[in-house]
Structure 1
Amino acid sequence: MSDMNEVAPEVQKIVDELFANAHKAASTFSGFEKDKVEAIVKAVAEAAQDKAEFYAEWAVRETGFGNVADKHQKNLLNSIGLLDVLNVGDYVDPQVDDKKKIVSFPKPAGVVVALVPCTNPVTTIYYKALISLMTRNSVILCPHPAAKECCVHAAEYVAKIAERAGAPKGSIQVLTEPSIPLVNQLLQSDRTNVILATGGPAMVRAAYGSGNPAVGVGPGNVACYVDKTADIATAGGQVVFSNSFDHSLPCTCESVVVADKEISSQLKLAMTAAGAYFVAGEEEQKLRDFLFPEGIACVAAIGKSAEWMADKAGFSVPEGTKSLVVEIDEISIKDPVSKEKMFPVLGYITVDGVGQGIATALAMLELMGKGHSAVIHANDPAVVARYGAALPVCRIAVNTPGVVGSAGMTTNLTQGSVIGTGFFGRSSVDDNVGPKQLIQWTRVAYHKEPDVEMGDMGAALKTL
């Protein structure tokens, strides 16, 4: 009988070659100074920008998920857009705290193994490649088989650009024929220094159970409370924009609208004006039968448009409809509308004030999504404070769409689409995952007695 842990020779050969290249590149890369790293990152970001629409179209064609326009925007934000918000020097240059007498040296992790989901494929390739380059790490990208072709092409493209700009060969590698045995070997190998885990719950748990350091994410289930003090017209438009963005594939999209009863009628009008269609009666039953056969979400509907879903369910909606809205009376484990859906269908529930709104959001998070994110529309700081104090999530977007607010695009949260869920969501990170999770610091600390001096540390660092 063969050993269950035995690795096929062809798999082991691929793994060995990947790690040999990656560690050689990481060793060389770790000695690069800021100016050289900046030039590499800039070249890759600009090249990725040039191909952003090309890869958006390819990703939609290959996977059938989402839409080209929104994927194009995501590709831009996660390529050239990163240069506006991330400073390479923060992850490469030593930092001196003269008051505390501590000198901190950033050290790269080494070899990063990065999982890439099929729902957001090329944008994840761009993001994880660039934050690895910024931090002088090498990265092995592991695409989902359903998005293999576009991911491999994009990864090989940015790898070529990086090497042409001066990055060590092997800084960016990709699995050209991804498989579970191969990915498991990479996750579990003691030659992996850190894992960036984005994908389904099974892969994230596998990363955490690998024995290696892992930075993982968790599922969302975004409650959006609209208070009576909100700007209702703005809130209605933002909710529909966010829920329908890339056909609701991002995990930060609103899942259920929790509306104060005093403004519910106005909010429905505002949402309808923005492209929402409230489904009721026979149409609702047809939609539920199609989307949730036996209570389980229809895989074929993932990342599809509202008009596509209505057509498949057997009813018509106005041209330009962006989101389908289903009114519910309660949050229930038996009702899949209460949960994250990954297609542009919104639950809608009416509540009597902020207390009921918080209770409803908490009920949603008990089903799934703890640690992830929530949204609130309110112009009363006391309402915002109550909501923030009560919810076990790591970020709440206020008066802005969740899809961009929780990802730091329209707020001052860390910009990034890899959403850490913290201890609430059984994750190790509560921030949006970025380059700071790919370095650690050696801190050189002097005695704190006032008469102990460091000397001219600035001059000393210039000698390195």
Structure 2
Amino acid sequence: MDIIDNDLLSMQEARILVENAREAQKIVKNFSQEQLDFIVNNIFKEIKDHIEEFAKLDYEETEIGNVEDKKLKLELFLNNLEKALKNMRCVGVIENNKEDKTLDVGVPVGVIAAFCSEANIVSTLIYKSIIAIKSGNGIVFGMSKKAKKTTKKVMDTIINIIEKSGAPQGIISYISRCSLNGSKELLNHKDINLILNTGIDELLDEIKTSGKSYIYGGNGDSPVFIERTADIKEAVKNIVDSKTFDNGIIPGSEEIIVVEKVILEEVKKEFIKNNAYFLNEEESKRLKEIIFDKFGKFNKNYIGKSSQFLAEKAGIKVEKNVKLLITNEKYLTLDSEYSKEKLCPVLDLYVEEDWKNACEKCIELLLSDKQGHTLIIHSQDENIIEQFILKKPVGRVLVNTGGSFGSLGITTNLFPAMTLGSGVIGKGITSCNVSPRNLIYIRKVGYGVRKVEEILKNKNLEEKLKEIIKTILK
């Protein structure tokens, strides 16, 4: 009888893939930016023909979000990313300051271990593969628990494209067997130089103890503040469109609404017009019981489920046009589950007397989950906007736009990324939208522009002048 130990096979596979990536990266690190760009451009060119296929496979396997939004997300994101990368230099001389006679030289970090949540699996796999090649690095992906077929299909397609384009075999690869021990073997391998983790919280402790540099991107409890000077109609539409897109799984999407009391009724009316439903106390309790576990953590079985699905599961009757559920909590406590990350079309509403109290509430919300991911503000008052920008412990602030589209750089000029650095409180080495420039070291070069003798001579003159002045004053 054959006995197959999945853990051991996964661990062995991880070792082999990292070693192959190490050898392949020794070749790729000598590629010019033009050679790397040729490979990247071929990925963009060919991967677009697979968007519909990937979106359907993703939904069929994970049952997260919806197919049409996944297709649109990929189209918009890839178009924006292609434009953003067009003239970016990551290897070789990337900056040349002729006036100061300094150079910046981009040096790839080496081999990257990458982990992706199933919530946005297709776009994240494609994105990380592109930025790794753009910056001359090797990358090895762990296997997703709930998206094995999708991961295999996407990665096999990308690997085929890059190898036809001249990339050495093994520069991009993935562990075919899903195993926690295999993932640990991957991230702890001596030849891994950087860990890129998107949304896999259960690996964070292991990553921290690995002693390696890592970038963490997740969602977090992103609050949105509607201030009294805001264009309320536009603000509410942006929020609803953002939080319901792909059923609320986009990083940076809104989680909590904070609104000034003076505009509360107007805001509520607009939400209702935009097919939102306000839950009463009993309905909120029933919904809480299904989407959160006994420890107050969001139940991953409800990631990307529609408002209709959630309402039915909770025994709540809503109209067929309802696409967003809103709860209303008066106070923030340790038991305020609704104030935490909810990867589904559910929002929590807090009401404050004025913008200063709202400001404090947003800080309290951001610190309560210690993610500090994204803050959104809708306002026409530049002074208030500035106060929010300067004082919030958060990775990014979006102004007068939806969280999902703004954070991904679709409706803003932020770098289009599917890995958004989470927080400013110790989770990873950056809180920005992760770009290929985060995957390189920068070697600084400075040409001599002054003689030591001149500096010493000037210093002696300065000392003599001081002595003369002292003598005159006496």
Q: Normalising by the residue count of structure 2, what TM-score does the alignment of the two structures yield? A: 0.89
- Amino acid paired to 2:97: D
Q: Report what 1:23 is aligned to.
A: 22
Give the Cα separation in 2 of the matches to 1:431 and 1:328. Answer: 31
Distance in 2 of aligned mates of 1:89 and 1:414: 12
Deviations 1:217-236 (A, max 9, x none): 35510111100000000001
> Partner letter of residue 378 of structure 2?
H
Q: Distance in 2 between matches of 1:116 and 1:100?
A: 42
- Mark the CA change 1:448 to 1:292 in structure 2 (over 3 Å): closer, same or farther: same
Aligned to 2:36: 37
Check the 8 A contact 1:56/1:72 in 2, yes or no: yes
Q: Is the 8 A contact 1:372 1:425 kept in 2?
A: no
CA distance in 2, matches of 1:87, 1:271: 40
2:54 paired with 1:55: yes
Whole-angstrom distance in 1 between the partners of 2:20 and 2:299: 41
SS at match of 2:85: coil
Shift, 1:411, TM fit:
1.7
Quote the residue 2:78 is aligned against. 79
Deviation at 1:93, TM superposition (A): 4.1
Counterpart code for 1:200:
I
Q: Distance in 1 between matches of 2:132 and 2:78?
A: 13
Larger radius of gyration: 2
Indicate conservation of the 8 Å contact 1:332/1:338, yes or no.
no
2:59 is the counterpart of 1:69: no
Distance in 2 separating the partners of 1:209 and 1:113: 15
Identity %, equivalent residues: 28
User: Tell me, what secondary structure is at the counterpart of 2:142?
Assistant: strand
SS at match of 2:147: helix
- Displacement of 1:281 after TM fit? 4.5
Q: Point out which structure has higher relative CO (alpha carbons under 8 A, 6+ apart).
A: 2
1:223-234 matches, cutoff 5 A:
223-234=223-234
2:223–2:258 contact (8 Å) kept in structure 1: yes
Q: How far apart in 1 are the matches of 2:85 and 2:451?
A: 35
**Equivalent residue runs for 1:364-379 within 5 Å:** 364-379=365-380
Structure 1 position 91 matched with structure 2 position 90: yes
- Name the counterpart of 2:338: 337
Partners in 1 of 2:167 and 2:71 — Cα distance?
Answer: 26
Does the Cα contact within 8 Å between 1:34 and 1:88 map onto a contact in 2? no
8 A Cα contact 2:393 2:424, kept in partner: no
User: 2:404 matched to which residue of 1?
Assistant: 403
Preserved contact between residue 247 and residue 304 of structure 2 (Cα < 8 Å): yes
2-structure distance, mates of 1:77, 1:179: 33
Contact 1:325 1:345 (C-alpha < 8 Å) held by counterparts: yes
State the Cα deviation string for residues 279-299 of structure 1 (Å, max 9, x = none): 114433332333335444333
Q: Does 1:239 align with 2:216?
A: no
Partner of 1:417: 418
Alignment map for 1:83-232 (pairs within 5 Å): 83-87=82-86, 89-94=88-93, 95-232=95-232
Match of 1:388 in 2: 389
Q: Distance in 2 between matches of 1:408 and 1:369?
A: 24
8 A contact 2:77–2:410 mirrored in 1 = no
Equivalent residue for 2:433? 432
Quote the Cα distance in structure 2 between the aligned partners of 1:273 and 1:114: 42
Write the distance in 1 (CA, Å) between the matches of 2:129 and 2:77.
10
Q: Which string of whole-angstrom CA distances, capped at 9 and with x for unpartnered residues, describes residues 59-82 of structure 1?
A: 111112111122223323443431
Compare 32-41 and 178-187 and name the one that shifted more. 32-41
Q: Name the counterpart of 1:456.
A: none
**Matching residue of 1:462:** none
In structure 1, stretches of 5+ residues that fail to align are 1-6, 453-464
Matched, 1:353 2:350: no
Equivalent residue letter for 2:318: V
Distance 1:163-1:354 versus aligned 2 partners, 3 A rule: same
Distance 1:338 1:427 in 2: 23
Question: Which residue number corresponds to residue 278 of structure 2?
Answer: 278
Structure 2 contact 39–166 (Cα < 8 Å) conserved: yes
**Shift, 1:9, TM fit:** 5.9
What is the CA distance between 1:301 and its match in structure 2?
Answer: 1.9
Structure 1 residues 74 and 208: CA distance shift in structure 2, 3 A: farther
CA displacement, residues 142-185 of structure 1 (integer Å, 9 cap, x when unaligned): 13221111011101111101111121111211111121111111
Question: What does residue 264 of structure 1 align with?
Answer: 264
The answer (yes or no) to whether the contact 1:79–1:130 under 8 Å persists in 2 is no
Residue number in structure 2 paired with 1:458: none
Deviation at 1:11, TM superposition (A): 4.5
The answer to whether the 8 A contact 2:59-2:66 is kept is: yes
Q: Which residue of 2 aligns with 1:455?
A: none
Q: For 2:289 and 2:106, locate their aligned partners in 1 and report how far apart those are by CA, in whole Å.
A: 54
Q: Report the AA paired with residue 83 of structure 2.
A: D
| SS of aligned partner of 1:106 | strand
Query: What corresponds to 2:287 in structure 1?
Result: 287
Partners in 2 of 1:380 and 1:307 — Cα distance?
Answer: 37
TM-score when scaled to structure 1? 0.91
Describe the shift of the 1:212–1:285 C-alpha distance in structure 2 as closer, same or farther (beyond 3 A): closer
Measured after TM superposition, the shift of residue 137 of structure 1 is 1.2
